[in-house]
Structure 1
Amino acid sequence: MIAHLFNAPIGDDETAVGVGTVGSSEAIMLAGLAFKRKWQNKMKAAGKPYDKPNIVTGANVQVCWEKFARYFEVELKEVKLREGYYVMDPEKAAEMVDENTICVAAILGSTLNGEFEDVKMLNDLLAAKNAETGWDTPIHVDAASGGFIAPFIYPELEWDFRLPLVKSINVSGHKYGLVYAGVGWVIWRSKEDLPDELIFHINYLGADQPTFTLNFSKGSSQIIAQYYQLIRLGFEGYKDVMQNCRDNATVLREGIEKMGYFDVVSKDSGVPLVAFSLKDTSKYTVFEVAESLRRFGWIVPAYTMPADAEHVAVMRVVIREDFSRSLAERLIADLGKTMADMDAHAGKKAGHDHPAKKSVHEIEKEVTTFWKRLVAKKKSSMVC
């Protein structure tokens, strides 16, 4: 089902294979091992050194990629970020590729700001470089966050197995897959992309069972839950859920922008989340704002961007199925109160009153008006 969702080729010569894992972390370890072993086999057959593999990623990758590189002795070559561009630059990534590159890892839904990286451009650039050099550098897509988003609300976006250099994809069931924490998936384009020597066959459970996991025993409840959700909701059900998440993210983003305090650094198209930074950091920081917001019961992460954008600090709110419109409005109101208090405190410290921004009531009114327009537009499109 998941391979079909990711447009895996279907035919006698190309049959997708995959495995359930403990989250996307194990999935990435397995995908990386498959790339490393396939690269080693190729270099051995050519009589070339095979002791210095590397992998190219953006500096925005999740820490599990750093773990893979360190645990399995693969050099991690990171494309640095810059202010205003918080994902891997495909052109810079292609430039860093050499004969020892086992794969380039692209992210569909960056942890930092939810943005989708341009996998299509990366595929085209690598295809041109492979044709020029004779290499066959492949792509892995880390779709932990976006793999259950893009197929449903951005179906025209080419990021998956429709691109010939994409050889494997991982996705988390416990993010937008609507399953509780503990399950991930990794899918290979075809059997030849997963070296046979990595697969173990055991028969002491009553029949031949192929296995390719870092651990053997694990619970099946999340796998059953994933299967149940897929057959219960179907494509249209998942699409409705994801569109609703995107609508609530839009309401939250509009409300935060209207306050006048923040710059939103997340994109409209991507994972439904809102990441935002302070326009003025001379009086207080996002870390202080996040700490003050806790008194209303909100725990909003604040963090700095990776190299070379460490000077940019942001807060991030992830919109999932249980984050309703009313919660979005409540967060906007509480954030507005927090900012008013931060201004008052900063004004007292400076010995004068800080000029007031828009009131919480004004912001709530504008958000309500925006939401009504959005609902009306959605109903109109449904009628059409």
Structure 2
Amino acid sequence: MSTTARSNARTTTNATDSLSINPVFVRPGESTELPKFQIPDGMSLPETAYQIVHDEAMLDGNARLNLATFVTTWMDDEARQLYSETYDKNMIDKDEYPQTAAIEDRCWKILADLWNVPDVNSSIGTSTIGSSEAAMLGGLALKRHWQARRKAEGKSIEAPNLVLSTAVQVCWEKFLNYFEVEPRWVPVTEDHIVFDGHDLEKYVDENTIGVVAIMGVTYNGLYEPVKQISEKLDEIQASTGLDVKIHVDGASGAMIAPFCQPDLEWDFRVPRVVSINTSGHKYGLVYPGLGWIIWRDTESLPESMVFHCSYLGGDMPTLALNFSRPGAQVLLQYYNFLRLGREGYRQIQQSSLDVAQYLSGKIAEVGPFELVSRGDTIPVFAWRLKDGHTDRWTLFDLSDRLRMKGWLVPAYPMADNLASMTLQRIVVRAGLSHDLATALLRDIEAEVEFLDSLDAPMPRIAVAGSHFHH
């Protein structure tokens, strides 16, 4: 399109398609209006461009008051300085940045040791962009192993399936879709609020590539009992001969349990667990995006998934669904390991657990509410309205009222079989202090008092569907 054509096109666009610039920020000769959805014809001064983006970003919420996200929103000054010094490092370029590659190697070995792998030197792991990529690599490894075993037996490799709860995070739906694996959804119910191995024999067959267990369900923060699921699979193998392995989606709990529930057997102490993923950018306490996955041993990771590159005369196996990605977060993870150690992680995670249980205990005392979880697994808990409390408002209304005061406290329907149950959830992260929690409680109590005083139902609005639905 010519410059004239572009100019003519702009004269017919809606006013909302352009950005008006505050006269305070522009310099003589600069445009006072820029297009939103086209690259401008001319240049702006860096100060002007900065101010435009800065002012737009101000409209985002306050990260400290976002009680919906699991993702780290605060790191200390030294971490931020390290970030600013290393954000140009490309993790994939191991020849150019061999020390960053070596630190990545140290990090996953630290995690393997933390998760009680039998022999760190025979295990294998990698960093990823986030826990979603790590989960997909874990699922893909299960599929490749199943395919290799079936081929060796001269059997069909059509119709692989994966057994998992309907309460899994959406990344598992992506895996099933992208890698063409049939889901075997185990429904959550009032009697089985998490997947605990019940009726597992109904879902497992010779085409099952594996079972996924979650250490911290997104809905409510509860752990799925990995050891109990494994024992059920032992029973199934004894009766059918099917040897089905477990991948643990430890996105949050894998960085809580080792420090605060060290006696809980969920990790490589359970023999059926062949791989574990976690989010470095959740309770690994690193800015987004960073994930990790560890396999029990090199046999658990199919060689077909590994790409080999050499640096400093050695061999560095790499595996990822992407190519270029930031190396700074890997260095920040190593910084945290050195800075905090086991005791530092324990103190921070336990503090979050203490605040979560303080909040849940107080919320349980607010008349309309009934707890679904208490925040004593990962520092996440959820509640629902008591049956029959009111027909004038819902938890969506309470969420909207709290948002007006700056708090983001999400309300959402449960998974398919419990879609009629609406929950409200709080994620406690480092940075939500006891004082802030007390301020939140005051606001919740005030808004409940307001909503209970209504003499007519709140106007109903369309509620977006939950991204957890299957």
| TM-score for the superposition, normalised by structure 1 | 0.87
The answer to whether the aligner puts 1:153 opposite 2:235 as a matched pair is: no
What is the Cα deviation at residue 168 of structure 1?
A: 0.2
Greater mean alpha carbon deviation, residues 56-65 or residues 90-99: 90-99
The answer for the alignment partner of 1:371 in structure 2 is none
Distance in 1 between the 2:358 and 2:323 partners? 44
Which structure ranks higher in relative contact order (CA pairs < 8 Å, sequence separation ≥ 6)?
2
In structure 2, how many angstroms separate the alpha carbons of the residues matched to 1:42 and 1:85? 33
Q: How many Å separate the matches in 2 of 1:268 and 1:182?
A: 25
Q: Which residue of 2 aligns with 1:50?
A: 157
Deviation per CA, 1:92-149: give whole Å up to 9, x if none.
2343111110000000000000000111111111112123222221000000010110
Is the alpha carbon distance of 1:94 and 1:9 closer, same or farther for their aligned partners in structure 2, counting shifts above 3 Å?
Answer: farther
Counterpart of 2:178 (choices 71, 82, 91) is 71
Bigger Rg, structure 1 or 2 = 2
Between stretches 260-269 and 73-82, larger displacement belongs to: 260-269
Aligned partners of 1:140, 1:256: CA distance in 2, in Å? 34
Q: Which moved more, 1:279-288 or 1:230-239?
A: 279-288
Q: Distance in 2 between matches of 1:301 and 1:268?
A: 16
Q: Which whole-Å CA distance do the structure 2 matches of 1:123 and 1:223 have between them?
A: 32
1:108 aligns with 2:215: yes
Match of 1:271 in 2: 378
CA-to-aligned-CA distance 1:8-53 (integer Å, 9 cap, x gap): 0027xx7211010011100011111111000000000001111110
> Counterparts of 1:106 and 1:64 in 2: how far apart (Å)?
14
Q: Distance in 2 between matches of 1:207 and 1:213?
A: 20
1:25 aligns with 2:132: yes
1:74-223 alignment runs, 5 A limit: 74-83=181-190, 85-203=192-310, 208-223=315-330
Q: Classify 1:311/1:84 alpha carbon distance in 2 versus 1 (closer, same or farther; 3 Å).
A: farther
Contact 1:83/1:312 (CA < 8 Å) preserved in 2?
no
Structure 1 residue 337 corresponds to structure 2 residue 442: no
Runs ≥4 residues deviating over 6 A: none
Q: Which residue of 2 aligns with 1:357?
A: none
Q: Is the 8 A contact 2:392 2:456 kept in 1?
A: no
1:284 aligns with 2:393: yes
1:203 Cα offset (Å): 4.1
Q: Distance in 1 between matches of 2:376 and 2:201?
A: 24
- 1:293-334 Cα offsets, whole Å, 9 max, x none, are 112111111100002101110111100111110111011000
Moved more, 205-214 or 186-195: 205-214
Gaps of 5+ in 2: 1-109, 458-470
Distance 2:238 2:297 in 1: 22
Whether contact under 8 Å (1:301, 1:316) holds in the other structure is yes
Question: Please, what TM-score do these two structures have when normalized by structure 2?
Answer: 0.72
Unaligned 5+ runs, structure 1: 351-384
The CA deviation string for residues 156-176 of structure 1, in whole angstroms up to 9 with x for no partner, is: 111000000000000001111
1:308 to 417, 421, 433: 417
Query: Residue in 2 aligned with 1:259?
Result: 366
RMSD (CA atoms): 1.5
Which digits, 9 at most, give the CA deviation of each residue in 1:180-227, with x for residues without a partner? 110000000000000111111134897543211011211111100001
Residue deviations 1:205-252, cap 9 Å, x none? 975432110112111111000011011110111011111111101110
Q: Which moved more, 1:261-270 or 1:148-157?
A: 261-270
Query: Aligned to 1:334, what secondary structure does the other structure show?
Result: helix
**Any idea what SS the aligned residue of 1:337 has?**
helix
The count of corresponding residues between Structure 1 and Structure 2 is 346
2:342 to 224, 235, 239: 235
1:84–1:265 CA contact under 8 A, matched in 2 = no
SS of 1:128's partner is helix
How far apart in 2 are the matches of 1:163 and 1:203?
34
Cα pair 2:135 2:277 within 8 Å, conserved: yes
SS in 2 for 1:167: strand
Question: SS of the counterpart of 2:198?
Answer: helix
Contact 1:108–1:144 (CA under 8 A) maintained in structure 2: yes
Deviation at 1:89, TM superposition (A): 3.2
Corresponding residue number in structure 1 for 2:41: none
